[in-house]
Amino acid sequence: MLQEDNAQREGKIYGGKVTPLVLVICLVAATGGLIFGYDVGVTAGSTSSNEFLRKFFPSVYIKMKCEMDDEDGYCRFDSQMLTLFTSSIYMAAMVAPFFASSVTTAYGRKASMILGGLVFFVGSFLGSAAMNIEMLIIGRLLLGVGVGFGNQSVPVYLSEMAPTMLRGALNIFFQMAITIGILVSSLVHYSTANLEGDLGWRFPLGFAAILGLIMALGSLLLPDTPNSLLTKGQNGKAKELLQKIRGTEEVDEEFQDLFKASEAAKKVENPWKNITQRRHRPQLVLCILIPFFQQLTGINVVMFYAPVLFKTLGFGDRAALMSAVLTGIVNVLATLVAILLVDKLGRRFLFFQGAIQMIICQTTVAVMIGLRYGSTGEGFFTTTEANMALFLICAYVAAFAWSWGPLGWLVPSEICPLEIRSVGQAINVSLNMTLTFAINQSFLSMLCYMKFGLFFFFVLFQIMMTIFIYFFVPETRGVPIEDMKRVWKAHWFWQDFVPDY
C-alpha cells in the first residue's frame, strides 16, 4: 500500500486553479443526478399512496386494508406487479447506457445529457397522465432511458472537467443531486398525500418533467469536455476551454496528456473489445464489482421501501412518510461530508469507514427486528425501540451517503483511460441498474421468505466488499485522470496486467 501512496505523490501536478467557471459548469451538469434521485423517491412515495394502489394494484390495496389478521407480517406487501412497476425504470436503464456510450463517444458527453433530459421529460408526462398500468409502465420505461443516458454521461463529464485536486468533490455533486432529487420527491409526496383523488400521485409524477427540462436545458448551455472536443478533432477549441476552466494559459502539460489519450482512443476500433483486453483487466473488474457491491449494501431497500418498512414497524401513514423525509435529509447532509473529505482523506478511507458503520447499524436493526418480530412478522416495537431503529437506519443511510453512494459513481468514471471510459461507465451504469432491478424485484418476496435474516444477507456482502476494497482498489485521490496507469503499475496485484509505459 505504501508503494501506491508513493506513486500518487510522485504523480504529475498540473498548473491551474479551481475557477468559478468550472464550479458553475459542474453544478449545472450535476443536475443530471436530480432525475435519477427524484425517480427513486417517487417509487417509494407512490407505492405508499392509497389512491395509487387502489387504481393500479387493487389486490395489494385490499390486502393492506384488511390488515390480514392471519397473514405473515413480512409478506403483507409482496406483489410481483407492484415491484414490476417500481423496477420497470431499471429495465430500461440497464440497456440504455450501451446506446448512450456510442452517443457519448461519437457526439460528446453533452449530447447524451441533453437526450437523457428530453426523454425523461416525455416519460414524466406519460406517467402522470396514465390511465392504465400499460401507460404507467411505458412512461416509466422512458424515464429509465433518460436515467440510463444521464448516469452514463454525467459522472464522466464531471470527472473530465474537474481539476485533479478537486475531482472527487466535483464528481460527488452528481451524488448530491441524486440525494436532493430523492428528498424533493419525498417532500412532494408528503405535501401532496392529502390531495383529493388522483392528484396525490399524478402531481408528483408530473413534477419530474421539470427536472428533465432543467437537465436538458442546462446541458444545452454547457460546453463539451476538452477530452470530447479532442476526440471530435476540435483541438483549438479544446485547448481554449482548458485554459478557461483552469484559469491559466499554462495548460500545456495537461493538454499534451489529453491529446495523447485522444490519439490513442482514435486508434481503437472497438472499445468493447478493447476493454476486455488483459491490460484493461483492473478497470473492467472494478467497473463490474463496484456497482454490484454498491447495490448489495441494500441501500435501495431503505430508499424504495422506507415508508412500507416504517409502516411494518408500526408507524402510521403520515409518520411513515415523514420518516422517509428524515432519511432523505440525512442522505443529503451526509453527502456533503463526502464532498468535503474525498479529496483530503481519499477514496479508500471513506470506503472503509462507511462500510464498517453500515455493518454495525444493519446488524443491530436485524437483531432488533428478529427479537421483536420473530419469524412470524407479528409483534411491535415500543416507541423507544422504534425511534432507535429509525436512528440506526439514518446512521446506515449516512454511512452509505459518504462512502459507497458517491464512490460508486466517482471511481468507475475516473479509473478508465479515455479509450474505454465511455464503455467502462456504460458497464457500471448497466450493472448498477441490473442489480437495482434484481434487488427491488426480489426484496418483498425475499423479506417474505428470509424474514429478518434478509438484513444479515446484506451485511454479508458489506463484509465482502470491504475485503475487496482492501486488496483490489487502489487510492486514486490526486492522480490525474489520464495518468492513472501509474496507480495500477504500483499495485501489488494489478501491476502484472498493465504494460510498461
Question: Which residues here bind ligand BGC, judged by CB under 6 A?
Answer: 40, 175, 178-179, 182, 294, 299-300, 303, 331, 405, 408, 432, 436
User: Using CA atoms, how far apart are residues 49 and 437, in angstroms rounded to an integer?
Assistant: 21
Q: How far is the CB of 90 from ligand BGC (least distance, A)?
A: 9
Which residue lies nearer to ligand BGC by CB, 112 or 432?
Answer: 432
User: Using CA atoms, how far apart are residues 355 and 400, in angstroms rounded to an integer?
Assistant: 7
C-alpha cell at 58: 387493487
Which residue lies nearer to ligand BGC by CB, 32 or 377?
Answer: 32
- Whose cell is 490526486? That residue is 478
Q: How far is the CB of 183 from ligand BGC (least distance, A)?
A: 9
State the alpha helices, DSSP H only, in 378-480: 383-401, 404-415, 418-450, 453-472
Q: How far is the CB of 41 from ligand BGC (least distance, A)?
A: 9
- End-to-end Cα spacing for the chain: 21
Cα distances (angstroms) measured from residue 35 to each of 113, 264, 378, 385: 11, 34, 37, 35
Which residue lies nearer to ligand BGC by CB, 130 or 401?
Answer: 401
DSSP, res 113: H
- Whose cell is 392509497? That residue is 50
Q: How far is the CB of 99 from ligand BGC (least distance, A)?
A: 20
User: Using CA atoms, how far apart are residues 425 and 416, in angstroms rounded to an integer?
Assistant: 9
Q: How far is the CB of 178 from ligand BGC (least distance, A)?
A: 5
User: Using CA atoms, how far apart are residues 419 and 273, in angstroms rounded to an integer?
Assistant: 11
Which residue lies nearer to ligand BGC by CB, 16 or 291?
Answer: 291
Which residue lies nearer to ligand BGC by CB, 111 or 147?
Answer: 147
Which one-letter amino acid corresponds to residue 267? K
Q: How far is the CB of 115 from ligand BGC (least distance, A)?
A: 21
Cα distances (angstroms) measured from residue 372 to each of 306, 364, 400, 418: 19, 12, 26, 53
User: Using CA atoms, how far apart are residues 159 and 417, in angstroms rounded to an integer?
Assistant: 12
Q: How far is the CB of 260 from ligand BGC (least distance, A)?
A: 32
Which residue lies nearer to ligand BGC by CB, 8 or 331?
Answer: 331
Q: How far is the CB of 40 from ligand BGC (least distance, A)?
A: 4
User: Using CA atoms, how far apart are residues 283 and 411, in angstroms rounded to an integer?
Assistant: 10
Which residue lies nearer to ligand BGC by CB, 61 or 400?
Answer: 400
Q: How far is the CB of 327 from ligand BGC (least distance, A)?
A: 10
- Measured torsion, CA atoms of residues 484, 490, 492, 498, in degrees rounded to the nearest 10: 60
Which residue lies nearer to ligand BGC by CB, 183 or 423?
Answer: 183
Give how far the C-alpha of residue 125 lies from the chain's centroid of Cα atoms, to the nearest Å.
Answer: 23
Which residue lies nearer to ligand BGC by CB, 300 or 413?
Answer: 300
C-alpha cell at 433: 441498474
Q: How far is the CB of 398 from ligand BGC (least distance, A)?
A: 11
Give how far the C-alpha of residue 51 lies from the chain's centroid of Cα atoms, to the nearest Å.
Answer: 29
Which residue lies nearer to ligand BGC by CB, 331 or 476?
Answer: 331
User: Using CA atoms, how far apart are residues 284 and 409, in angstroms rounded to an integer?
Assistant: 15
* DSSP-derived 3-state class of residue 250: coil
Q: How far is the CB of 371 from ligand BGC (least distance, A)?
A: 28
C-alpha cell at 63: 390486502
Stretch (H or E) spanning 501: none
Non-local (6+) Cβ contacts of 275 within 8 A are 283, 284, 416, 420, 423, 424, 427
Q: Contact, 355 vs 462, CB < 8 A?
A: yes
Q: Contact, 27 vs 254, CB < 8 A?
A: no
Which residue lies nearer to ligand BGC by CB, 228 or 432?
Answer: 432
Which residue lies nearer to ligand BGC by CB, 347 or 489?
Answer: 347
Q: How far is the CB of 395 from ligand BGC (least distance, A)?
A: 15
Give me the residue whose beta carbon is nearest to ligand BGC.
Answer: 405
